[in-house]
Amino acid sequence: MGPENSNKANNYPRPTAPFVPPQTNSPFTSSRPVIGSQPSPFTPTSAPTPPTTSPSYPPGPVSGSSGPAFRPVQTGRPTPPYGPPTSGPFQRFPTQPFPLSSQPPPPHTSPVVQPISSPITRPPPSQFPPMSNFQNRQPPIPTMPVNGVPSSINGPPMQQPPPSIGSTHPAVRPAQTSTWPGYPGVQTSSAAPVSNQGGYVAPPPTSSVPFSSHQVGYGPTPPVASPLGMYGGPTPPTGGMAGLVEDFSSLSIGSMPGSYDAGLDTKVLPRPLEGDVEPTSFAQMYPMNCNSRYLRLTTSAIPNSQSLVSRWHLPLGAVVCPLAESPEGEEVPVINFATTGIVRCRRCRTYVNPYVTFTDGGRKWRCNICALLNDVQNDYFASLDSNGRRVDLDQHPELTKGCVEFVAPAEYMVRPPMPPLYFFLIDVSIYSVKSGMLEVIAETIKSCLDKLPGSTRTQIGFITFDSTIHFYNMKSSLTQPQMMVVSDLDDIFIPLPDDLLVNLSESRTVVDAFLDSLPSMFQDNLNVESAFGPALKAAFMVMSQLGGKLLIFQSTLPSLGVGRLRLRGDDIRAYGTDKENALRIPEDPFYKQMAADFTKFQVAVNVYAFSDKYTDIASLGTLAKYTGGQVYYYPSFQAAIHKDKLRHELARDLTRETAWEAVMRIRCGKGVRFTSYHGNFMLRSTDLLALPAVDCDKAYAMQFALEETLLTTQIVYFQVALLHTSSSGERRIRVHTAAASVVADLGEMYRQADTGAIVSLLGRLAIEKSLSYKLEEARNAIQLRIVKALKEYRNLYAVQHRVGTRMIYPESLKYLPLYGLALTKSTALRGGYADSQLDERCAAGFTMMALPVKKMLKLLYPSLLRVDGYLLESSMKADVFEKVCKRLPLAAESLDSRGIYIYDDGFRLVVWFGQMLSPDVFRNLVGEDLATDFSRVSLVRDNEMSRKLMDILKKLRGADASYYPLCHLVRQGEQPREGYLLLSNLVEDQVGGMNSYVDWILQIHRQVQQ
């Protein structure tokens, strides 16, 4: 093996691993499609493989003994991360101090960036250093070498290079930069997908020191690398044994299965206290992939056979957030192929991307998805240099970055690009007025008028309704809007169809006048009826010319005309029966029909619901569900309390960058096919998602399946294309491309799993299931999948390792059971009748169907911070906040009655005051009177401690602008608010008949062992 190793190193056109001394290949490098020009260097891999599997290797912790022969470097591998199997039930990994991690990027970026970056989008290197923090969070920078750096940092703690790396790093750099030109080699070689074979496989020789723990994962890979024929069946996990301690993480469960008083220490259970940790190896393996904020696969190791898929048990798919906000400095490059037209594959219509390969002196390019050889148009031609890469590569971001935006020519339009259009449908019945909703929205809309996207093209219009429908003529020649009332609800007609929808900049004064007078116009309205359906139809008739965004503000149950809903109530008797799910689906087909019509005419519907009584969100939300919209629910809206939340969220909705009249399609390589899609959209054909409006806060999940029993390619490419009209009136195509390796080993699939994407997909599946089955069945389905997956994983290792009664799981999925538990306890799926109100449940379901991965994980496992220490320490500055306030396990045990805690799930903040809190602190924060009603008390006070607390809250809110977490204060022992706001959300506790974390783990463990 030794010779083979060096052989490989020599064969690589360049050492890609930024951190590692060139001679040792990092897993990532080698796994890229970059491999040398012929696969030959790899063949040896397969030959020597057998030794790997030979039982001669002691399975024990003896990592070094047999190692040398197989992996020279293994001895160097620091064992600590894995620890002796017995050391502790749960392995902890040294966490890297942050400062170190932020240090590498700058040196790296600068040398590298120049050669490849596109002048258009890429900021000068000098901009990078301050941003380093960002980079750490998200590996993005698609330029190859750079990528390795941030992502490795960002990786799960276990993968973090030992501190020594800092020193290696500078040494490596020169080598790397110099070899950089080798990069083009990638393109030539990967031209034939087959040659890539090795691509993935290569990792084995890797054992480079820094990533040691990671390689563990790669143990069994050599077989994978071997030509397909050689490795038919599933790899015996033994491969991984070679000198490894253990290939999995485990949890000691002291007692025998079946008994409840397990010696399971709650402290060692895995908890995602660092938030969402994305797997980094994937990004390092394919640095040209789009950033994980746009596309996350549930496992970045694609199974090569049906049988492997059937043993995976978890969802196989992706979560796509096509317009995710990119941090400053990483804007998506916009490319205008003005003369050439957009370069696409003739056959499969794939867009040109970094993984296409140019051949024949640059005259042809091979599509990476269907392998068709396309001609390069004259205007797009550039000759290839000696490495086979285009000489003008640095001027073509589409060939170096996984995420680009093309300007689409006229062929991509069926009509001229539409202007941004906002239409408001406002319920003005008594409750809207009394709750103050009307005033808040009028005020907010007015304040947002200047910030609406689209500058002078933006159009706007209003309809209000109670038992009649009120239209407003806003023609620019008027000074005051003209109100027209239509009371015939059965046969709606639109008065003055041309002047209801007006250009905002032309009619600005009229719109301002209207919004000023809106609250006063209806302040004495005593009408309790709501002709919602007819008003909706009227809005549809007005909007159907152009499409756009329809914002519905509804505060009562629709009671008149078509689409009226009845109080079907939350019948306790329905729960547990087969009729239970009927409560969660729209009652009247009118809503489905309208939703279909809206999508057809490019109208996106956002529903804002405010009622304190039942409003049938299940029906109203359908409108948002099929039009790519969103449901905002403010139960018992009171302007005094919810004002800030509504104002923020409405403003965000109006001003965030929005893509209009969009369609999205995800393409993937031969043999793989997307089968189902989950989220808020409508399918226009089997694989085309119609999205009348998309924005950065929406994510879509999809599952794929293998079409063939055996995949012959070594890499599967995914390409998400979103064709949309930008607010500036340009037709554009946002293209995200990603590559993933095909593996023949189940263990590898589990190791490369991405818990975030899996949980996101599992959640969506469960919510969909709850629409046609009982809640309990939806919850059981989650549990069953987790159990099956862990069981399968256990079977992989149960034979070689004495796993005994330990619970074993892949490191990548260590949080999966916890998130699964959190899913079953989420508002949308928890309990039964009494555990959450029907409307809240439905609203949560609609919301979760659209949430991006990170936001979803935050919602499932919220952060709990103890802040009193920080508040009392006067000298501390705001920037040490993160260090002082660590996230705590979400259990009642974490709450100390002498402390102040903040619970933050991204949708609300709960500030919890312990009973034994010192009166001084208490007085400083909430005032003198201990008996005050906490639901009304204000936190804003004029002293330092209060200001500090407000700073914290502001900081927590600032972390994510998509929702405004409303702050609730609650004191220990203040029932029922404490229970409702906090205690029932502590997912690790046993709440209302649902498992505690320990019980859940034990239960899963028992089922796994059965």
Partner 1 sequence: MMGDLIAWLFSFFILLAVLALVLYQIMCFLDLETDYINPYELATKINNIMLPEFITQGSLCLLHLVTRHWIMFLFCLPYLCYNVNQYIHRRHVVYATEVFSELSRQKRQRIFKLVYLGFLLFFSIFWMIWSIVDEE
**DSSP string over 961-1003:** -SS-PEEEEEETT-TTHHHHHTGGG-TTS-BTTBPPHHHHHHH
Contact with partner 1 (CB under 8 A) among 318, 343, 345, 682: 682
- Binding part of the chain for partner 1, among 53-61, 136-144, 158-166, 676-684 by CB under 8 A, reads 676-684
Q: How far is the CB of 687 from partner 1 (least distance, A)?
A: 9
Q: Which is nearer to partner 1, 508 or 665 (CB)?
A: 665
Cα atoms found within 13 Å of the Cα of residue 88, Cβ hemisphere only: 14
CB proximity list for 174: less than 8 A, separation 6 or greater: none
Q: How far is the CB of 685 from partner 1 (least distance, A)?
A: 5
CB 690, CB 682: distance < 8 Å: yes
Contact with partner 1 (CB under 8 A) among 378, 685, 874, 875: 685
Residue 183 in the binding site for partner 1 (CB under 8 A): no
- Binding part of the chain for partner 1, among 17-25, 321-329, 464-472, 588-596 by CB under 8 A, reads 588-596
Contact with partner 1 (CB under 8 A) among 62, 391, 496, 596: 596
Q: Which is nearer to partner 1, 685 or 975 (CB)?
A: 685
Q: Which is nearer to partner 1, 707 or 873 (CB)?
A: 707
In 3-state terms, the chain is what percent helix, strand and coil (to 5)? 40, 15, 45
Where helices occur in 376-473 by DSSP H, the ranges are 430-434, 437-448
- Binding part of the chain for partner 1, among 203-211, 243-251, 593-601, 854-862 by CB under 8 A, reads 593-601
Contact with partner 1 (CB under 8 A) among 92, 364, 446, 592: 592
User: Identity (one letter) of the amino acid at 622?
Assistant: T
Contact with partner 1 (CB under 8 A) among 595, 766, 871, 891: 595
**DSSP string over 32-83:** STT--SSSGGGHHHHTTHHHHHSTTS--SS--SSSHHHH-GGGGGS--TTT-
Contact with partner 1 (CB under 8 A) among 160, 599, 783, 863: 599
Q: How far is the CB of 590 from partner 1 (least distance, A)?
A: 11
Could you give the CA distance from residue 861 to residue 883 in angstroms, rounded to a whole number? 20
Q: Is 360 left (phi over 0), alpha (psi -120 to 50) or beta?
A: left
The CA-atom distances, in angstroms, between 631 and each of 368, 472, 584, 620, 839 are 39, 26, 14, 9, 11
Rounded to 10 degrees, the C-alpha dihedral 814/820/822/825 comes to -160
Here the tokens at position 656 are 């965030």
Contact with partner 1 (CB under 8 A) among 119, 130, 254, 589: 589
Nearest to 790 by CA among 770, 810, 775, 806: 810
- Binding part of the chain for partner 1, among 59-67, 117-125, 640-648, 684-692 by CB under 8 A, reads 684-692
Q: How far is the CB of 29 from partner 1 (least distance, A)?
A: 41
Q: Which is nearer to partner 1, 599 or 615 (CB)?
A: 599
Contact with partner 1 (CB under 8 A) among 479, 686, 874, 875: 686
* CA 109 and chain centroid, separation: 26
Q: Which is nearer to partner 1, 395 or 593 (CB)?
A: 593
- Binding part of the chain for partner 1, among 634-642, 646-654, 680-688, 889-897 by CB under 8 A, reads 680-688
Q: Which is nearer to partner 1, 211 or 674 (CB)?
A: 674
Q: Which is nearer to partner 1, 277 or 690 (CB)?
A: 690
Residue 130 in the binding site for partner 1 (CB under 8 A): no
Bond into 279 cis (ω within 30)? no
- Binding part of the chain for partner 1, among 276-284, 388-396, 596-604, 805-813 by CB under 8 A, reads 596-604
Q: How far is the CB of 198 from partner 1 (least distance, A)?
A: 38
Nearest to 230 by CA among 205, 204, 197: 197
Element (H, E) at 376: none
Question: How many CB atoms neighbour CB 365 within 10 A?
Answer: 24
Q: How far is the CB of 562 from partner 1 (least distance, A)?
A: 16
- Binding part of the chain for partner 1, among 589-597, 729-737, 972-980, 981-989 by CB under 8 A, reads 589-597
Residue 475 in the binding site for partner 1 (CB under 8 A): no
Residue 568 in the binding site for partner 1 (CB under 8 A): no
- Binding part of the chain for partner 1, among 324-332, 429-437, 681-689, 852-860 by CB under 8 A, reads 681-689
Could you give the CA distance from residue 851 to residue 231 in angstroms, rounded to a whole number? 40
User: Identity (one letter) of the amino acid at 829?
Assistant: L
Residue in the structure block whose two tokens are 């790396």: 165
Contact with partner 1 (CB under 8 A) among 82, 180, 626, 903: 626
Residue 593 in the binding site for partner 1 (CB under 8 A): yes
CB proximity list for 721: less than 8 A, separation 6 or greater: 351, 664, 665, 666, 667, 733, 734, 735
- Binding part of the chain for partner 1, among 138-146, 206-214, 340-348, 587-595 by CB under 8 A, reads 587-595
Q: Which is nearer to partner 1, 386 or 686 (CB)?
A: 686
Q: Which is nearer to partner 1, 477 or 686 (CB)?
A: 686
Residue 676 in the binding site for partner 1 (CB under 8 A): yes
Residue 414 in the binding site for partner 1 (CB under 8 A): no
Q: How far is the CB of 311 from partner 1 (least distance, A)?
A: 24
Residue 880 in the binding site for partner 1 (CB under 8 A): no
Give bridge partners of residue 813 from the DSSP assignment. none
Give me the count of residues in the chain: 1010
Q: How far is the CB of 622 from partner 1 (least distance, A)?
A: 8
Q: What are phi and psi of 658, to 5 degrees?
A: -125, 140
Q: What are phi and psi of 457, to 5 degrees?
A: -90, -15
Q: Which is nearer to partner 1, 685 or 1010 (CB)?
A: 685
User: Identity (one letter) of the amino acid at 1003?
Assistant: Q
CB 704, CB 672: distance < 8 Å: yes
Q: How far is the CB of 731 from partner 1 (least distance, A)?
A: 21
Could you give the CA distance from residue 442 to residue 1004 in angstroms, rounded to a whole number? 52
Q: Please tell me whether residue 247 adopts helix, strand or coil conformation.
A: coil
Q: Which is nearer to partner 1, 339 or 686 (CB)?
A: 686
Q: Which is nearer to partner 1, 514 or 591 (CB)?
A: 591
Residue 684 in the binding site for partner 1 (CB under 8 A): yes
Q: How far is the CB of 75 from partner 1 (least distance, A)?
A: 55
Residue 673 in the binding site for partner 1 (CB under 8 A): no
Residue 254 in the binding site for partner 1 (CB under 8 A): no
- Binding part of the chain for partner 1, among 398-406, 678-686, 846-854, 959-967 by CB under 8 A, reads 678-686
Q: What are phi and psi of 426, to 5 degrees?
A: -115, 125
Q: How far is the CB of 481 from partner 1 (least distance, A)?
A: 35
Residue 550 in the binding site for partner 1 (CB under 8 A): no
Number of residues near partner 1 (by CB under 8 A): 15
- Binding part of the chain for partner 1, among 586-594, 610-618, 662-670, 997-1005 by CB under 8 A, reads 586-594
Task: Specify the pairing of strand 900-904 against strand 863-866.
Answer: antiparallel
Nearest to 504 by CA among 550, 544, 585, 450: 450
What spatial distance separates the first Cα and last Cα of the chain, rounded to whole Å?
A: 40
CB proximity list for 89: less than 8 A, separation 6 or greater: 250, 251, 252, 253, 264, 265, 268, 806
Nearest to 95 by CA among 167, 160, 165: 160
Here the tokens at position 967 are 């702050």
Q: List residues near partner 1 by CB under 8 A.
A: 589, 592-593, 595-596, 599-600, 622, 626, 676, 682-686
